[in-house]
Amino acid sequence: MTQPEKRSVSRRGFVKYLVGLVAVLAAAVAGYGLLVRKREQSEVSQPSQKTTQSQSVTMTMPQGNADLLLTNGNVLTVDPNDRIVEAVAVKDGRIQAAGSYQELKQFVGPSTKQVDLRGKTVTPGLVDSHLHMQYYGKQFQDTLFDIRFPTVKTSDELIQTVREHLATAAKGEWVAGNQGFIINDPPDRWELDEIAPDNPLFLVHASGQFAVANSRALALAGIGKDTPNPYAGLIGKDESTKEPNGFLYHYPAIDMVRRLVPGYGVVTEEEKRGFVLTGAKKCFEAGYTSVEDVIVATTSDVKLYTDIAKEGKLPINVYILKYVESLAQSKTELATAEHSKGKNYNFAGWKIAVDGGASAGTVLMYDTSAAASKRAYVYHEQEDLNEMVAMFHDAGYQVAFHVVGDRAIDMALDAIENALKKNPRADHRHRLEHVIIPTPEALDRIAKLGIIVSTSPQWISFFAKGWQDVLGEENMKRFMPLKTMLNKGIHLAFGCDVPATPIIDPKWALVGATTRMTFDLNQIKPEESISMKEALRAHTMGSAYAAFEENIRGSIEPGKTADMVVWSQDLYSASLQQLTKLQVEATIVEGQVTYKSEDTNIAF
Ligand SMILES: [Zn+2]
């Protein structure tokens, strides 16, 4: 799903068509043409100003003739002055200079490759501050059948897909879909039993916040009526009989089944290496040149990244946050963990989940009446959370928190504040992931404590309609206030969050952040829109900052790594319609082309 079809849809018909979250997403395919036309009427494109005259080319390194000279481009440098230049010189994988051709031709030597960009726009390579690259790569293996949106959009389609795969499975064999479905009314254990009486069956929601399993699968996992909930997890139960209904909430409960499933818990080392490389390839196609994998669940998965990197085979730079589930686990792991950093890898932080997601009903809110929080519970008591955070903080690590609801955000802030009070540390760069419904007071605390907000503005377009339904108008007034955050001086970083979101393409982050448009033609708090310059900066320098890498990547400046993306449109002047059609023409990492579109006419 990339290009929305252009077709006429009456507004009434269109709105009727939107039933909940699935429809909101389906509309990304069917309805964007209408949205675009509506938007175009009131939009005046601002042509970008290209600087061809010298505005000081500060050249620090490297010296000598360039290996590569990009010319005739519209290069958005994202340097401190947001300079736009026409040429970039690259030497030894780093930016040698950015400026006019006149200025840069001095770097041309006999071995310099010159590439005419034909006026195309170049930006720094996008840095993704929040995804799960290893587990995203996992979604494309044959062992798991495809139930990701938009392959599956309804409960009927899900059941049909399961049936098709059961037909090819031997009796007793595991049957599992990839991560995952986005539907409002997923079948429960007994409905799955009807279609899969003889096979263990496991299906996980796209968000990763809950899964559903049939009776055979629950039996293999040893989950019965008297099975206690695992720490921070929740085994769904039938209200009257108290029998497990197949739904498993949050990773610890999901993992009771997932660890047994071929393609998930049961995979070979070789297959896991494949996931990493597939994930990296998909990132290059999308225009990411560096990523932050914010849930690496096991020490062996951390080692997988570092091993591949040490062998020189990790094609993309990966910043690693190791996930921890409990205070007990934190203590054990911290005792043996080592901050390790090398070419293309940096394990420098830990991730803690404080709440869940809207689809699972596990968003921790002060307003407990919202459907999004109907099942919400505290994963970690405040005291335990404080202790976990203080431990990691004292050991010099960065700590990142999955926080969606206002109460979860405040719990994380309390824990960070507590750690900083006991042990002040400048430049800690602790970070909050998502931050969907903060209170105004929380924003002030985030700013004051110098905390990074790492979020996914594509959620505005993809999910805001669905969120409105489960959070209510009043809570939605506080939905992802990006402009307010910038005004308060909060560091913003952007990431796509695949596989928890259906689309990897970062153009939807740019659309969401700059237009606040949802796929059902509404704008959610348009006054919280930020400019394209601000959005691009958040997705490059901001995300690099979240990984302590703003001095080596995130802008096209001399000495920085030569990571760049060539786009089909100028980002600064693109209309919404053009933005929705934005394509990556080429991705360049350390001066080497790692992805090239079949459609590009640039001769790399
Ligand atoms: Zn995530």
Instruction: Decide if pLDDT at 192 tops 80.
Output: yes
The string of DSSP letters for 434-482 reads: E--S--HHHHHHHHHHT-EEEE-THHHHHHHHHHHHHH-HHHHTTS--H
Topology of domain 144-258 in CATH is Diaminopimelate Epimerase; Chain A, domain 1 (3.10.310)
CA 411 to chain centre: 23
Query: Residue 520: its pLDDT value, please?
Result: 78
Report CA(357)–ligand 1 centroid distance (Å): 10
- What span, in angstroms and rounded, lies between the C-alpha atoms of 276 and 315? 9
Report CA(294)–ligand 1 centroid distance (Å): 7
Report CA(583)–ligand 1 centroid distance (Å): 24
The answer to whether 376 and 365 are in contact (CB under 8 A) is yes
Report CA(222)–ligand 1 centroid distance (Å): 28
CA 329 to chain centre: 25
Query: Residue 46: its pLDDT value, please?
Result: 37
Report CA(498)–ligand 1 centroid distance (Å): 7
The string of DSSP letters for 471-507 reads: H-HHHHTTS--HHHHHHTTPEEEE---TTTSS---TH
Report CA(495)–ligand 1 centroid distance (Å): 9
Burial 180-196 (b: 16+ CB within 10 A, else e): bbbbeebbbbebbbebb
Percentage of the chain lying above the pLDDT 90 cut: 86
pLDDT tens column, 100-136: 999 999 999 999 999 999 999 999 999 999 999 999 9
Q: What average pLDDT does range 76-87 have in this prediction?
A: 98
Report CA(475)–ligand 1 centroid distance (Å): 22
Topology of domain 349-546 in CATH is TIM Barrel (3.20.20)
Percentage of the chain lying above the pLDDT 70 cut: 90
What order of strands is seen across the sheet that includes strand 234-237?
175-176, 201-204, 210-213, 244-249, 234-237
What order of strands is seen across the sheet that includes strand 74-76?
84-85, 74-76, 121-124, 564-567, 584-589, 592-596
* CATH numeric code, 43-124+556-604: 2.30.40.10
Query: Residue 27: its pLDDT value, please?
Result: 42
- Domain boundaries defined on the chain: 43-124+556-604, 144-258, 349-546
Q: Is the torsion defined by CA of 119, 125, 127, 131 positive or negative?
A: positive
Query: Residue 518: its pLDDT value, please?
Result: 87
Query: Residue 497: its pLDDT value, please?
Result: 98
Q: What's the one-letter identity of residue 355?
A: D
Query: Residue 3: its pLDDT value, please?
Result: 36
Report CA(295)–ligand 1 centroid distance (Å): 7
Tell me the H-state helices in 377-457: 382-394, 406-422, 440-449
Count the neighbouring beta carbons within 10 Å of the beta carbon of residue 170: 7
Report CA(371)–ligand 1 centroid distance (Å): 21
Question: pLDDT category, 522, cuts 50, 70, 90?
Answer: confident
Query: Residue 135: its pLDDT value, please?
Result: 96
The answer to whether 415 and 385 are in contact (CB under 8 A) is yes
Report CA(410)–ligand 1 centroid distance (Å): 19
Report CA(318)–ligand 1 centroid distance (Å): 15
- What span, in angstroms and rounded, lies between the C-alpha atoms of 452 and 38? 35
pLDDT tens column, 536-555: 999 999 999 999 999 999 99
Tell if the pTM clears 0.75, that is, is over it: yes
pLDDT tens column, 134-161: 999 999 999 999 999 989 999 999 999 9
Report CA(379)–ligand 1 centroid distance (Å): 17
Query: Residue 60: its pLDDT value, please?
Result: 54
Query: Residue 62: its pLDDT value, please?
Result: 75
Q: What's the one-letter identity of residue 119?
A: G
Instruction: Decide if pLDDT at 11 tops 70.
Output: no
| Pairing relationship of beta strands 121-124 and 74-76 according to DSSP bridges | parallel
Q: What average pLDDT does range 288-315 have in this prediction?
A: 97
Q: What average pLDDT does range 205-214 have in this prediction?
A: 97
The secondary element (H helix, E strand) that includes residue 360 is: none
Burial 114-128 (b: 16+ CB within 10 A, else e): bbebeebbbbbbbbb
Tokens of 253: 């409960």
Query: Residue 184: its pLDDT value, please?
Result: 86
Report CA(64)–ligand 1 centroid distance (Å): 43
Question: pLDDT category, 527, cuts 50, 70, 90?
Answer: very high
- What span, in angstroms and rounded, lies between the C-alpha atoms of 389 and 394? 8
Report CA(52)–ligand 1 centroid distance (Å): 41
pLDDT tens column, 377-426: 999 999 999 999 999 999 999 999 999 999 999 999 999 999 999 999 99
Report CA(353)–ligand 1 centroid distance (Å): 10
Nearest to 24 by CA among 515, 437, 529, 459: 459
Tokens of 157: 């389609």
Q: What's the one-letter identity of residue 273?
A: R
Tokens of 356: 């869940």
Instruction: Decide if pLDDT at 480 tops 70.
Output: yes
